[in-house]
Amino acid sequence: MAMLTRSSRYLLPLLFVLLFGAGCSSDPVPEVKAFIQVNERQISRTEFDQAFAHSLLPDQHLSASERLDLQRSFLVQLIDRELIALAARQQGVEVSTEELQEVIQAHKTDYPGDSFAAMLTERGLSLHAWQTELRQSLVMEKLLQEVVYAGVVVAEEEVAAYYKENRADFDRPAQVRARQIVVADEAEGNKILGLLRQGEDFEAMARAHSLSPDAEQGGDLGYFGRGQMPAEFDAVVFDLPPARLSGLVKSEYGFHIFRVEEKRAAARLSQKDATQEIRRILETRKQEDAYQGWLQDLRTQASIEVDWNQLEM
């Protein structure tokens, strides 16, 4: 589920009730059982297979053992999703039409042209089914934020202790902030370089011509230290004065033109400077712990049955 940023990453063991339905030929025909039952909610094998198919990448090829392993993991996710959805209904957590539409529009901006429709086709989803799935994910995320994480607090003493125990992590190396333009052809690169040297705006040229994903940000690579980018980058930008253009630089990605925006000397962050980062780290840990404990309580209180024989068929 795309929008559950934390909960979808944790697949803890469930205490399943195993159902055995084998019998001899003289026995009466057994009643058809649900593949999965979570409290009153029954999920058929067909429903499970359809949901599992949507979770796979287009044209993803799996061996029989790989498929079975993924199905087991997905089964746990599906049960957790049902438990969370039930908790959301009990808590009265809802997502308004306005909230849903805002997120839908944000998603669509990531898919220019007809690529959004192509994405739905690849996943085998209708627009209605995708919106339903998105609404469910948003409801679950709101539940986590409003209920599960509501009591998470990071004290000043915890920040200070973390900084003291992990002081070396806040030694910041020398960094540069640079922009780039990437093209596939050397002749085109030299032409653009000539225009830049004549005064053309670097950011505008990056947006118009660069093949790199950062083109939308005017080629901005942000701050980085040595070793974080390809060696060809480091060999140029760390010796390049701010506001100066590089020559044409060849890499496996194409031909680059760099401009350094700013340089930062190596430094050790003080506790004050590191506080925001530390709070984010500790908050994330506490949220994860809160989620794990809350979800385990849901599992313990729920009635969960799985007919494992159907999964092996």
Q: Which of 178, 176, 194, 174 is nearest to 258 (CA)?
A: 178
Q: Are strands 36-38 and 41-43 parallel, antiparallel or unpaired?
A: antiparallel
- Residue 179's CB: how many other CB atoms inside 10 A? 22
Backbone angles phi, psi at 307, to 5 degrees: -90, 90
181 close to 261: Cβ distance less than 8 angstroms: no
**39-141-304 Cα angle (round to 5):** 15
**What CATH architecture applies to the domain 7-151+283-312?**
Orthogonal Bundle (1.10)
pTM of the complete model beyond 0.75: no
Predicted local distance difference test score (pLDDT) of residue 87: 94
pLDDT digits (tens, 9 = 90+) for 201-238: 999 899 989 999 898 889 999 999 999 999 999 999 99
State pLDDT tens for residues 281-306.
Answer: 999 999 999 999 999 999 999 999 99
Which pairing describes strands 304-306 and 17-18: parallel, antiparallel, or unpaired? Answer: parallel
Q: Which of 192, 186, 187 is nearest to 215 (CA)?
A: 192
Q: How far apart are CA 302 and CA 313, in angstroms?
A: 26
**pLDDT value, residue 11:** 32
- For the chain, give every residue range classified as CATH 3.10.50.40: 174-265
CATH topology of domain 174-265: Chitinase A; domain 3 (3.10.50)
Intervals of CATH 1.10.4030.10 along the chain = 7-151+283-312
Do the Cβ atoms of 179 and 219 come closer than 8 Å?
yes
Using 50, 70 and 90 to split pLDDT, how confident is the model at 32? Answer: low
* pLDDT attached to residue 206: 92
Start-to-end Cα distance in the chain:
26
- Token reading at 231: 């060696």
Q: What phi and psi values does residue 17 have, to the nearest 5 degrees?
A: -90, 115
Q: What is the rounded average pLDDT for all residues in the chain?
A: 85
What residues does 263 pair with on adjacent strands?
176
How would residue 157 be classed by pLDDT, with cut points 50, 70 and 90? very high
Residue closest to 176 by CA, chosen among 117, 114, 224: 224
